[in-house]
């Protein structure tokens, strides 16, 4: 590390920002320290960046009394320096800052022992250290400010909806999702959570037909049940109709199926999920159910474990550049309710919600006595939205037979 740091110090602008007390010689080993003194001299004499070859020439010309063995040793050391790549200025700056703080800390710690042992009785020595290093203890920064030109901002805004929603009432309020985003979807059991992501991905205009590579990891229902919803959503047929029209269904399903992979994932944890994302590089990653990937050991409370799980899911979205759909149950408080809120998330009223870029909660009307079937009406509550800022509720219908959500 010290050789890479020495290479960075040969850069004139970087050296000027870290000269003197900011980069004391004692940070380096004995032989490297001697070379660093030559770098110091070169920077005082010349007003430009110097190369390792130039530093070597200066070193040898200023140390003519070296023995043959010493010359060979330093030549070998310079050869290593030339092979080293200089650190990036931001990394070098942080490393140098930490080393500098360590040196000052050691000085203060040693002084503390002197006070404890009674070798020093006044604070003058401590005051001198603080005065000597005060301004230098806080490092200078060389920040590359983010680009906020109109062209960049508009291009970024377009990327916020890289993959468009195909449910018209939702699309009018939230165009779609993109890489690095965590979308939490919550509903009560038997409301249509699995059908929701099947419709978003497999039905006409869905993510799969837009070219997104979609991976679905399910630990709630077996693969064949989840897959059947994807099949009917893609074809717009009931399971019975698919059986009666296999060739037609296959023609409609095949193009979509090529962009969808489903895996039963019971007993797996979020570390395994990350391995899947790293290996297969999806554009859309569905966790159904997200909470069941949580590791509970090491946490005093369930809500802490679920918050950590959501943080991990968000990290996967950002690190592996995909949109993660995290499917969740809602608490009994949401049963039969049409208007829903974040506090109804089961097991974690606020922790999981804090990590979401977009939170969609699906409600349905309470069952009506005397009716054999539930109403197909679904109430899509956008309760958190960092993407477009819109919050509220839109209505659509779920076709149970095809697993399609339609406006």
CATH topology of domain 153-406: Rossmann fold (3.40.50)
pLDDT range class, residue 106, cuts 50, 70, 90? confident
- Answer whether residue 21 shows pLDDT above 60: no
Question: Hey, which residues does 323 pair with through a beta bridge?
Answer: 284
pLDDT range class, residue 141, cuts 50, 70, 90? low
pLDDT of residue 32: 87
pLDDT range class, residue 407, cuts 50, 70, 90? confident
More confident residue, 190 or 117: 190
Q: What is the pLDDT of residues 167-180, one digit of tens each?
A: 999 999 998 999 99
Q: For residue 161, what are the CA distances in angstroms to 198, 327, 383?
A: 19, 20, 18
31 HSE (CA, 13 A, CB side):
14
pLDDT of residue 129: 65
Is residue 288 classed as helix, strand or coil in its secondary structure? strand
3-state SS, one letter per residue, for 152-185? HHHHHHHHCCCEECCCHHHHCCCCEECCCCEEEE
d(CA 106, CA 164): 57
Q: What is the pTM of this model?
A: 0.66
pLDDT of residue 234: 96
pLDDT range class, residue 113, cuts 50, 70, 90? confident
- Answer whether residue 140 shows pLDDT above 70: no
pLDDT range class, residue 212, cuts 50, 70, 90? very high
- Mean pLDDT for the stretch of residues 388-406: 94
- Answer whether residue 161 shows pLDDT above 60: yes
| DSSP code of residue 386 | S
More confident residue, 202 or 301: 202
Phi, psi of 11 (to 5 degrees): -85, 120
d(CA 117, CA 299): 44
Lowest mean per-residue pLDDT among 39-43, 95-99, 198-202, 352-356: 95-99
pLDDT of residue 210: 96
């Amino acid at each position: 590390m010290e050789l890479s740091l020495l290479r960075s110090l040969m850069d004139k602008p970087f050296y000027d920002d870290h000269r003197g007390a900011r980069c004391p010689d004692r940070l380096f080993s004995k032989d490297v320290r001697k070379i660093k003194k030559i770098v110091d001299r070169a920077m005082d004499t010349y007003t430009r960046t110097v190369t390792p070859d130039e530093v070597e020439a200066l070193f040898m010309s200023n140390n003519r009394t070296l023995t043959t063995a010493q010359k060979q040793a330093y030549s070998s050391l310079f050869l290593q320096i030339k092979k080293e790549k200089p650190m990036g200025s931001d990394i070098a700056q942080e490393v140098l800052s930490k080393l500098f703080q360590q040196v000052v800390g050691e000085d203060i710690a040693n002084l503390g022992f002197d006070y404890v042992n009674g070798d020093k009785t006044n604070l003058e020595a401590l005051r001198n250290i603080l005065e000597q290093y005060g301004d230098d203890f806080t490092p200078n920064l060389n920040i590359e400010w983010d680009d906020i030109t109109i062209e960049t901002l508009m291009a970024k805004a377009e990327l916020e909806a890289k993959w468009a929603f195909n449910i018209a009432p939702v699309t009018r309020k939230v165009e779609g999702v993109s890489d690095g985003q965590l979308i939490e979807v919550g509903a009560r059991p038997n409301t249509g959570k699995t059908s929701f992501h099947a419709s978003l991905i497999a039905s006409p205009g869905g993510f799969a037909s837009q070219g997104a590579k979609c991976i679905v990891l399910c630990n709630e229902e077996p693969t064949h049940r989840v897959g059947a919803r994807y099949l009917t959503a893609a074809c717009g047929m009931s399971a019975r109709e698919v059986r009666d029209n296999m060739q037609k269904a296959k023609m409609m399903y095949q193009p979509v199926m090529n962009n969808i992979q489903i895996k039963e994932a019971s007993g797996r944890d979020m570390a395994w999920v990350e391995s899947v994302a790293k290996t297969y590089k999806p554009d859309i990653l569905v966790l159904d159910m997200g909470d069941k990937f949580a590791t509970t050991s090491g946490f005093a409370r369930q809500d802490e474990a679920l918050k950590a799980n959501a943080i991990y899911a968000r990290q996967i979205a950002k690190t592996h550049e995909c949109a993660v759909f995290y499917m969740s149950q809602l608490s009994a408080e949401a049963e039969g309710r049409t208007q829903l809120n974040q506090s109804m998330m089961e097991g974690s009223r606020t922790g999981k919600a804090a990590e979401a870029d977009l939170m969609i909660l699906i409600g349905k009307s309470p069952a009506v006595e005397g009716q054999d079937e539930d109403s197909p009406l679904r109430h899509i509550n956008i309760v958190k939205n960092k993407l477009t800022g819109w919050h509220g509720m839109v209505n659509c219908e779920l076709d149970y037979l095809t697993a399609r959500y339609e406006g």
